[in-house]
Amino acid sequence: MFAKICVKTLIVAAALGLPLSLAHAQEGTEARPSCRMYFTQSWDDINAPLGSYPTSGFYQKLKTIFADAGAELIAEPFVPWTRAVEEVMRGKGQGLSMALETPSRAEKLAFLGPIFTNKWYKYIRRGANPNMASPTVGVLRTYADLTPIIEAVEAMNGTLIGMPYERLGRMLEEDRVDVILASEYGISLLLDRRQQQLERLPGEGVDVHTYVAIKHDAPCMTRKAELNAALSTWAKTDDAKTYSVGPPNAQNLTIMKKQADGTTP
């Protein structure tokens, strides 16, 4: 029997033009479909030098989830988040470890999960009228087309504008915008001086979901159903909460303030 198997291996290797050692390696082995993904926004790796690879934390967690779903996860080089999003949208790289779903992104990316849900709150200048009619509501321009944000502004009978956070901060000081709608993390991107001048309005906040985003034509999308199920299941665990996007620590904030507008996932 062993002799027959060896002869069969030799015949297959010869027919395919493969070295015998490679033919043996491929017997009974099927390569898992892969995805090359950016991981800039992994909190425990964010202080790594630009150009390095994340090696722990969230990357390792997602790598395990992908493997359990029958896919292989490969990390792209660590780059500023704005650049990562632009590269994926232009065709380089195949996915983003954390991303908010917008109509323009959905044309090229599938959003799996969600893996996290965060609250966005209404902030006003301290001492301003919290019950103003028809307020001008500012958000980070990258997310001005988010459905839950648009719905929240409509519920306030407000006017939505999207701008860089620094400009929104100045407009708030100058009474040119009434409300800023943002996550705690987003507000932390404003200068500390401006944070002291802001007051969060009471309320539950707006639920904004964070997903794993993968290009529709990425090889691992052949395992889309399995990946989506695995990510959605993990998102409900206490373990997932330890990776959820929240206010960054002082070191992370220093890095973020040096980056261009749109550095949030």
The residue extents of the domains of the chain are 34-116+209-257, 118-207
Quick: pLDDT tens for 119-163.
899 998 888 888 889 999 999 887 888 999 999 999 999 999 998
Beta strands 136-140 and 159-163: pairing type?
A: parallel
Tell me which CATH code domain 34-116+209-257 carries. Answer: 3.40.190.10
What percent of the chain lies above the pLDDT cut of 70? 69
pLDDT digits (tens, 9 = 90+) for 217-261: 999 999 999 999 999 999 999 888 776 654 444 444 444 444 434
Q: Is the pTM of this model over 0.85?
A: no
pLDDT score of 171: 83
Closest CA to 72 of 33, 28, 113: 33
Do 182 and 123 meet the contact criterion of CB atoms below 8 Å apart?
yes
CATH for the 118-207 domain, from 3.90.1530.10, 3.40.50.2000, 3.40.190.10, 3.90.1150.10:
3.40.190.10
In the block, residue with structure tokens 């199920």: 229
pLDDT at 173 over 80: no
Residues 237 and 256: their CA atoms lie apart, in Å, by 28
pLDDT band at 114 (very low <50, low <70, confident <90, very high): very high
Cα 80 to chain centroid distance, Å, stands at 13
Question: Which two structure tokens, joined as six digits, stand for 122?
Answer: 């209404």
Nearest to 184 by CA among 228, 123, 230, 131: 123
Is the bond leading into 265 cis (omega within 30 degrees of zero)? Answer: no
